[in-house]
């Protein structure tokens, strides 16, 4: 695998994570303001929202690495009428712009709450379109291990799973920052943090469960495929790359389920914020490495049909 593929691994994961963070922040915001004061909620969510921008931009910069002629990159949206690659870039750019508009409005509290909601919904829809078109880029008849419903499903799961845990990390960091600024603990904010973390780890466990069902199913479908290339793709996953494949599944499970369990328990007990923060960071790190391995395998194990 060359630089070419690494740039795609970084781009797809960061792009998906950005959308996932955006979507899940929206859900958290909506749920949390029912039980907590909006100002408190936004002390945690606003900073996480602002962190999406740099992540997405980094992803787009990485994507340039797989172009032979990056100076021509601006031409890549010319074929929106036919090409899913053009559509992916178009939706990605629109998500970035609408997300940035929303983040700015939210940060500066510009416009009424309802208007901000509408902007956020538009950005969320564009983000989903970005991920769906990203999956359709790969659903090509000659690429057996990509041309499965598992591609959009895994892309979406990656998005939500990395998003969920990234938010956990961002919340812990935001909390630490707020506490330092105030010079004291805020019971309300701490309660909010721990409530959110519990919700997040439950989501992560469900998502990892979905992943642990999808991936073996995908391998089973491939190994029963009609073409030699499909069967070879499955065999590469389970034998040539068998160790990496197993590690990828194990990391997702350990990160989301086991670390998640500890996060859950520690937020119920009297564990210090340091411990909770460390556990959340660990969960995110393990899951992220697992996702990177998974995406590496996505590119490396596929055997194309054709000559």
By CB under 8 A, residue 76 contacts other proteins: yes
Q: Residues 60, 63, 65, 69: is their CA dihedral positive or negative?
A: negative
Q: Indicate the residue among 4 and 35 with the shorter CB distance to other proteins.
A: 4
Which residue is it, tokens 């309802």?
Answer: 114
Q: Indicate the residue among 77 and 190 with the shorter CB distance to other proteins.
A: 77
By CB under 8 A, residue 250 contacts other proteins: no
Q: Indicate the residue among 54 and 70 with the shorter CB distance to other proteins.
A: 70
Q: Pick from 37, 110, 121, 140: which binds other proteins (CB under 8 A)?
A: 140
Least distance in Å: CB of 95 to other proteins? 17
Distances, alpha carbon 105 to alpha carbons 64, 120, 121, 125, in Å: 29, 10, 14, 18
Q: Indicate the residue among 73 and 213 with the shorter CB distance to other proteins.
A: 73
Q: Percentages helix, strand, coil for the chain, rounded to the nearest 5?
A: 85, 0, 15
Q: Which residues make Cβ contacts (< 8 Å) with residue 158, sequence separation at least 6? A: 13, 16, 17, 20, 291, 294, 295
Least distance in Å: CB of 245 to other proteins? 22
Q: Pick from 1, 4, 109, 239: which binds other proteins (CB under 8 A)?
A: 4
By CB under 8 A, residue 141 contacts other proteins: yes
By CB under 8 A, residue 224 contacts other proteins: no
Least distance in Å: CB of 206 to other proteins? 33
Q: What is the CA angle 23-293-63, rounded to 5?
A: 65
Specify the stretch interacting with other proteins by CB under 8 A; choose among 140-148, 155-163, 206-214, 252-260.
Answer: 140-148
Specify the stretch interacting with other proteins by CB under 8 A; choose among 72-80, 104-112, 168-176, 249-257.
Answer: 72-80
In terms of phi and psi (left: phi > 0; alpha: psi -120 to 50; beta: otherwise), the region of 111 is left
> And the tokens for 251?
């990391």
Question: In whole angstroms, what is the distance from residue 55 CA to residue 17 CA?
Answer: 8
By CB under 8 A, residue 84 contacts other proteins: yes
Instruction: Note whether 123 and 105 are within 8 A (CB).
Output: no
Question: In whole angstroms, what is the distance from residue 112 CA to residue 120 CA?
Answer: 13
The binding site for other proteins (CB under 8 A) comprises 4, 66-70, 72-73, 75-79, 82-86, 89, 137, 140-143, 226-228, 304-307
């Amino acid at each position: 695998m060359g630089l070419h593929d690494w740039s795609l691994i970084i781009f797809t994961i960061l792009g998906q994570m950005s959308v996932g963070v955006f979507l899940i922040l929206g859900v958290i915001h909506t749920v949390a303001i029912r039980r907590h004061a909006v100002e408190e909620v936004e002390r945690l969510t606003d900073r996480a929202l602002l962190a999406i921008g740099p992540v997405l931009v980094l992803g787009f910069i990485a994507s340039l690495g797989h172009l032979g002629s990056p100076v021509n990159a601006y031409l890549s949206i010319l074929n929106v009428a036919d090409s899913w690659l053009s559509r992916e870039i178009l939706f990605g750019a629109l998500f970035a712009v609408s997300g940035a508009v929303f983040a700015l409005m939210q940060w500066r509290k510009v416009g009424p709450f309802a208007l901000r909601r509408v902007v956020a919904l538009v950005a969320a829809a564009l983000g989903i379109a970005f991920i769906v078109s990203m999956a359709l880029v790969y659903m090509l008849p000659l690429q057996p291990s990509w041309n499965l419903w598992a591609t959009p499903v895994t892309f979406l799961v990656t998005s939500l799973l990395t998003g969920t845990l990234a938010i956990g990390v961002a919340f812990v960091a935001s909390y630490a920052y707020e506490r330092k600024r105030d010079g004291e603990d805020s019971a309300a904010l701490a309660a909010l943090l721990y409530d959110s973390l519990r919700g997040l780890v439950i989501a992560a466990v469900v998502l990892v469960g979905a992943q642990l069902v999808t991936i073996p199913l995908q391998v089973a479908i491939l190994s029963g495929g009609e073409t030699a290339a499909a069967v070879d793709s499955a065999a590469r996953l389970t034998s040539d790359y068998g160790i990496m494949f197993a590690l990828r599944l194990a990391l997702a499970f350990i990160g989301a389920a086991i670390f998640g369990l500890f996060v859950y328990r520690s937020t119920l007990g009297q564990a210090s914020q340091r411990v909770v923060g460390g556990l959340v960071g660990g969960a995110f790190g393990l899951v992220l490495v697992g996702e990177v391995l998974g995406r590496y395998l996505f590119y490396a194990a596929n055997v194309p049909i054709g000559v």
